[in-house]
A = this chain, B = another copy of it.
Amino acid sequence: MKHGEPTDRVARIQADWRRERPDVDITPQGVIGRLHRLAGRLTEELCLVYGRYGLSEGEFDVLCALRRAGEPYERAPGELAAHTMVTTGAMTKRIDRLERAGLVTRRRSDDDQRGRIVALTAPGRELIDRAFTDHMRNERRLVDLLTPAEAESLEAVLTAWLSRMEDPRTPGGE
């Protein structure tokens, strides 16, 4: 082993695989494994702040989607589900909880009687404004563990990777 090289959890896993499966190229794990580990660690850190406001990650996301919509802070459940990447069934339950907590209201839509409209209440708006401010301070703290150059390069590569993955012209390989 080289001196001082960081031997993190992923590196140890790679070492095991190299011994057990020398026939397989396991270098992709260096990127994908660490990306997952990091995402998990970041989520932990972020959830600490959500919890301070009595919110789960999912509830926080829903309140953010409503707040971002702008005045009058309303959206249909289906829109909220699409924005937050969950099924409409999951969204029903999240809205149930938020409604019970008095942070949102639910009413029928006027023009389409099967649609609903979810709206932030005043306490909901007040809560998410405080929580979001705190949340961003928290993200700033975490990103500041990187140098500005590192953060910039990271964002660029992540953006490129995401766009190539979504791009239908990308060679599928499958």
Residue among A16, A67, A69, A163 facing the most chain B CB atoms (10 A cut-off): A16
- Would you call A32 and B133 a contact (CB within 8 A)? no
Tell me whether A37 is interfacial, beta carbon within 8 Å.
yes
A119 to B37, CA, bound (A): 26
Tell me whether A107 is interfacial, beta carbon within 8 Å.
no
Instruction: Using A19-B70, A20-B68, A35-B35 as known contacts, say yes or no to A157 and B162 having CB atoms under 8 A apart.
Output: no
Interface residues on A, range: 35 or more
Contacts of A154 on B, CB cut-off 8 Å?
31, 35, 154, 157-158, 161
Contacts of A133 on B, CB cut-off 8 Å?
21, 24
Instruction: Using A8-B162, A24-B136 as known contacts, say yes or no to A42 and B35 having CB atoms under 8 A apart.
Output: yes
Q: How far is the CB of A50 from chain B (nearest CB, A)?
A: 14
Instruction: Using A132-B21, A140-B28 as known contacts, say yes or no to A159 and B36 having CB atoms under 8 A apart.
Output: no
A24 to B134, CA, bound (A): 10
- Would you call A163 and B6 a contact (CB within 8 A)? yes
